[in-house]
Amino acid sequence: APRTKPRGGARLSSMAASTSATWRIARFLGRGLRGTALACCVANTICNTICGLEVSGSLGQSMQPTLQEVVVTERMSIRTGTPSKGDIVVCPYPKDPTVTIGKRLVGLEGDVFLKARRSFFEASTITVPKDHCFLQGDNTKLSTDSRHFGSVPLGLVQGRVVLRVWPLERAGWLSTRWWFEKGAEKLP
């Protein structure tokens, strides 16, 4: 007796073909995504080690409204020289080195600043010693900075914030002069 094809045979072979095509597409996309992820990792490593660039998230409430979300930090200028007044720098938090903070550098060696007060009658000053800097957040009411923990050794400064990436409507280069041009030297 001759064998006849089962009725659903045509349907099964077309389903197998479409499943096979789906797997081929998924495999192709998976390889592409792996390649893209690898390229991103290599680019990130090159940027971090050679160029000294790093993309990081928000630096906290103390730098609002100047910085809010995503920024780019560069480390090359810190390796080759001293940061300048007005630069936004990143360094480990002196009270917890596992936390990185971002503050504006407002004072260098010899500058004198008021220390944070605990009471109305307590007013003392901080003189920035040699090879140290004084850091302060732009949002002085919400910032824990050098007024609280004292001056920071310049050797702890890890990088300088140079670019605001996000939000897109505020993306752009950050000038070191911006803060001083706004008359912030009059801030307490």
Q: Tens of pLDDT along the chain (188 residues)?
A: 555 555 555 555 555 555 666 767 767 666 666 677 677 667 666 666 655 666 666 566 666 565 666 777 777 666 767 777 878 888 888 888 887 788 888 888 777 777 766 656 666 777 778 888 888 887 777 777 777 787 888 888 887 877 777 666 776 667 554 444 444 444 33
- Which residues have C-beta within 8 Å of that of residue 165, sequence separation ≥ 6? 55, 69, 70, 71, 72, 171
- Residues belonging to the active site: 62, 103
Q: Does the predicted model carry a pTM greater than 0.85?
A: no
Beta bridge partners of 112: 127
Burial class of 19 by CB neighbour count within 10 A (0 to 12, 13 to 18, 19+):
exposed
107: left (phi over 0), alpha (psi -120 to 50) or beta: beta
Phi first, then psi: what are they for 17, rounded to 5°? Answer: -65, -40
